[in-house]
Each structure stands twice: as C-alpha cells, then as structure tokens.
Amino acid sequence: MLGISDWLCMDMRKLVGRNFARLRKASGLTQEQVAERANLSQQYISDLENGKRNPTVETLYDIAQAFGVSQVELLKSDGQGD
C-alpha cells in the first residue's frame, strides 16, 4: 500500500514531467538537444517527461540551465490535477 509520501512523489514526477515537456516544446528543442545541453541521456529525458523519473536537485538545475529558466519553473503547478 502506498503512503502519502509515495503519492506526493508520483505527483511531483508528473508535474515536473509536464512542465519539462511544455518548456521543451515551447523552446522548439528535441529531447536529444536537451539531453546534450543538460549532459543527460535521451532516455532519461523521455522518462522524465513521462513521469517515470524523480530528478535530483542537481538534475533540475541542469535542466533549468538548458532552458534558461529557474528550477522553480519546473516545479510550478500547471492546474492539471491527476
């Protein structure tokens, strides 16, 4: 049985994934381009967008740098409750 912290982690992964995909598409970048800029694999980027990864603070920083935004931008609520 999942506890509340498990649910919060899943929701956070989904939120970060949605924000990441939104920023990537708005920037006109491919997953491969972002992966190269953030020094990550394309598979990691795909997993992140699909809410399958829980990025570290360092990874959030690297991704934010790749987009030229703050890490907060990746954590903003998008109003899409699951």
For residue 16, being part of any structural domain is answered with no
For residue 2, being part of any structural domain is answered with no
> pLDDT-based confidence at 77, cuts 50/70/90?
confident
For residue 15, being part of any structural domain is answered with no
Q: pLDDT tens across 62-71, in order?
A: 989 988 899 8
Q: Tell me what pLDDT residue 49 has.
A: 94
Would you say 59 and 47 are in contact if contact means Cβ atoms under 8 Å apart?
Answer: no
Q: Tell me what pLDDT residue 21 has.
A: 94
CATH of the domain at 76: 1.10.260.40
Q: pLDDT tens across 2-57, in order?
A: 455 554 555 888 888 999 999 999 999 999 999 999 999 999 999 999 999 888 99
Q: Tell me what pLDDT residue 10 has.
A: 59
- Could you tell me the residue range of the domain that residue 45 belongs to? 32-82
Domain tally for the chain? 1
Q: How many CB atoms neighbour CB 17 within 10 A?
A: 20
Q: What is the pTM of this model?
A: 0.75
Q: Nearest CA to 46 among 71, 24, 65? A: 24
